Amino acid sequence: MLTSFVALLIRDIRLAVRQGSALTMTLSFFVIAVSLFPLGVGPELSILARIAPGVLWVGALLACLLTLDRVFQADYEDGTLEQLMLGPLPVELVALAKILAHWLTSVVPLIVVAPVLAISLNMPADGTWAMVLALGLGTPILSLIGAVGGALTVAMRRGGILLSLLVLPLYIPVLIFGVASVEAAIAFLPVAPHLLLLGGLSLGALVICPVASAAALRLAVE
């Protein structure tokens, strides 16, 4: 079971890397979206430092949202998904492998770029490490919850807008705790409670979301 899980994971990562464009497009979207804010708000460094945590989190959240339809869509369209679901691997683990691949290929690059953007937004150095930690703990939730939305809308022709309507409300707690942890670090307050809450949310989503995605996928290929 583990071998087929790893095989599926490697296949998905290889597909994402060889397609290439998808990876760089998400990254460029993130960078452009974040760099719009100094243009919109004005280049005053104190204001930018104040809004930087929120801007980076919202940018990461939207960039992640843009890639969600790809988690299951391509495999659903060419029939691979049905073959995978007929295979020996439980559908829950198929979903989990695809979620993990999505997180590794679409979200981890964002976390790597985030500190650079944080510096450009004049965020204090104390906040930067907290932000990387919070993104590392919090973004798996984005992939996990997003996969449920992606699986629910996979059979629809224009599921994109519905997907964001379904998924964004559920993202809000992640955003709140993520931004709170960065702001706590900047204000020299304890960061651990926020990070622990994010980790807890992550573990909870890890239990629930693969099961819910699998149920939605079974519905889609019915």
- Residue numbers at the binding site for another protein (CB under 8 A): 145, 148, 152-153, 156, 159, 162, 165-166, 168-170, 172-173, 176, 204, 208-209, 212, 215-216, 219, 222
Q: Strand (E) positions, the chain?
A: none
Q: State which residue, 97 or 209, has the beta carbon closest to another protein.
A: 209
The least distance separating another protein from the CB of residue 169, rounded to whole angstroms, comes to 4
Q: Which tokens is 110 given?
A: 């964002």
For another protein, the closer of residues 59 and 210 by Cβ is 210
- Smallest gap from residue 175 Cβ to another protein (A): 10
Which residue, 16 or 102, has its beta carbon nearer to another protein?
102
Residue from 28, 178, 202, 162 nearest 106 by CA: 28
* Alpha carbons 135 and 127: distance in angstroms, whole number: 12
Structure tokens at 163: 């997907």
Cβ within 8 Å of residue 98, ≥6 positions away: 8, 12, 71, 72, 75, 147
Minimum CB separation from another protein for residue 32, in Å?
A: 26
Comparison of 26 and 69: residue with beta carbon closer to another protein: 69
Q: How far is the CB of 127 from another protein (least distance, A)?
A: 20
Continuous H helices in 42-79: 45-67, 73-77
Taking the complex as a whole, the smallest distance from the CB of residue 86 to another protein amounts, in Å, to: 20
Tell me whether residue 132 or residue 166 sits nearer to another protein (CB atom).
166
Helix orientation angle between 192-221 and 160-186, rounded to the nearest 10 degrees: 170
